[in-house]
Structures are given as C-alpha cells and as structure tokens.
C-alpha cells in the first residue's frame, strides 16, 4: 500500500464502499469479487461499529489477495486521535480481560487463588494458580518484570516464576539492586546483580554474579 499512488484511476467497472466498522455478508462473499471489476473503499474502516478490527482485517486480506482490484483510501477516521474518540481504541485496547491480566497481574505468596490488586487493575494470583498454569502449558519457568524487587530478581512459588528488575536505586526512592538474567544453551539461568550506590547517576553500581539452575 505504501507504493500505491494517491491518485486513483480506473477504466473498468468499479464498486465504491464506505463501511464504518461494520463487516457485512456482502464483504465476505468471495463470489462477488470479479477480475473485471475494481473495488474502491473510501476510508473510515473503523470506529462507530462493533466489528472494526474484523472489517479492516478483511479488507487488508482482500488487498493482499487482489492487489490490482482492491483500493483502500485513507479517510478521516484513519488517525489515532479520532480512533480514541469514536471506538476503535477501546475495541483493541481493553481495560479488562485476558490481555489486561497478562500485562498487569501480580504474584502474591500470601493468598490462594485470585486476589484484589492494589494497583486498581487486574488481579493477584497465588502459587496454586501459577502451578496450574505451568502444568497446563508444560513450561518450566515464567520470566516477568513490572515490579521492584529488592535483589533485582526474585523467585515465586517453587521457582516456577521469576521477577526481573534491572534498574538499581529505582527513581532514587528504593534501595534496590538491579539484575540481568542470563540463560545459556543448557537452559541454566544466572543473574548479574547491580548493587545500588550513593550516586547512581554516575553509574558506579557494583557488579556481582549469582548462579541459579532451573
């Protein structure tokens, strides 16, 4: 699409559409796509409808399959600012659900099951929930970030999860170390620990290495 010119000219039959985030049966009917026809879409593929993602995905798929027949113009709704106001942003950036929990949930060794998160979003989870997930997907270790931990790294559960935090003396308010996790060819984990210093801005953190096999 980057190579497509801003000026569109067609000598063949042309069908012109404007959908506003509404995927219709007509759009999905492949029998309507004819080699002798051209299809022009006037922008506004998202917002104001409940199928914005499906609509733009289908149109892009058609453009890939029929590059010489499908033409997509940019409308006034193809901009980030408008998307935030008229619905597309809320459709693909949810404030709850699976994606939110993947990004915001935190481990909590004091609970069993699920708990309320002090962040005001998502949940906390206990060792039992972690163990259940580890077993269900057949993995050995989850590596996460997102939390300040005193030593720069911290295991949770039966060493099934590790939190990595690499910024020592975080924001000048925490006396925490930072850590870098190294994984070798044999899946052995080791940690480089950066100790906080009195003047972290001069980057004089002392470096130590600890070994941990997983």
- Average pLDDT on 64-85 reads 83
**Least trusted range by pLDDT, from 6-15, 19-28, 136-145:** 19-28
With contact defined as beta carbons under 8 Å apart, do 70 and 93 qualify? no
The CATH number of the structural domain formed by 101-212 is: 3.60.21.10
- Average pLDDT on 179-208 reads 77
Q: Does the pLDDT value for residue 47 go beyond 70?
A: yes
Active-site option among 23, 77, 129, 195: 77
3-state DSSP call for residue 80?
helix
Domain ranges of the chain: 13-92, 101-212
pLDDT score of 1: 60
Compute the distance between CA of residue 114 and CA of residue 105 in angstroms, rounded to an integer: 10
- Residues facing residue 163 across a β-bridge: 144, 154
Instruction: With cut-offs at 50, 70 and 90, classify the pLDDT of residue 204.
Output: very low
The owner of tokens 């975080």 is: 170
pLDDT score of 212: 52
**Least trusted range by pLDDT, from 56-65, 88-97, 103-112, 196-205:** 196-205
Residue 77 is among the residues annotated as catalytic for this protein: yes
Q: Does the pLDDT value for residue 22 go beyond 70?
A: no
Residue percentage of the chain with pLDDT more than 90: 36
Q: Does the pLDDT value for residue 206 go beyond 60?
A: no
Instruction: With cut-offs at 50, 70 and 90, classify the pLDDT of residue 69.
Output: confident
Q: Give me 126's structure tokens.
A: 């206990």
CA angle 3, 9, 12 (to 5 degrees): 120
Q: What is the mean pLDDT of the chain?
A: 82
pLDDT score of 23: 58
Report CA torsion sign: 10, 30, 4, 53: positive
């Amino acid at each position: 699409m980057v190579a497509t010119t801003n000026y569109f000219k067609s000598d063949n039959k042309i069908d012109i559409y404007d959908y506003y985030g509404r995927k219709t049966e007509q759009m999905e009917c492949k029998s309507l796509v004819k080699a002798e026809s051209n299809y022009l879409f006037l922008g506004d593929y998202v917002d104001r409808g409940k199928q914005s993602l499906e609509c733009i995905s289908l149109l892009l798929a058609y453009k890939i399959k029929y590059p010489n027949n499908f033409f997509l113009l940019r409308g006034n709704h193809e901009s980030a600012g408008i998307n935030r106001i008229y619905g597309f942003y809320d459709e693909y950036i949810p404030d709850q659900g699976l994606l939110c929990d993947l990004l915001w949930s935190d481990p909590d060794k004091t609970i069993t099951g699920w708990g309320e998160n002090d962040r005001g979003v998502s949940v906390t989870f206990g060792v039992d929930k972690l163990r259940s997930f580890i077993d269900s997907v057949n993995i050995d270790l989850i590596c996460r970030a997102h939390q300040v931990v005193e030593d720069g790294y911290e295991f949770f559960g039966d060493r099934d999860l590790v939190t990595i935090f690499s910024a020592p003396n975080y924001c000048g308010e925490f006396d925490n170390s930072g850590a870098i996790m190294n994984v070798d060819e044999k899946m052995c984990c080791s940690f480089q620990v950066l100790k906080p210093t009195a003047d972290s801005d001069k980057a004089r953190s002392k470096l130590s290495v600890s070994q941990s096999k997983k």
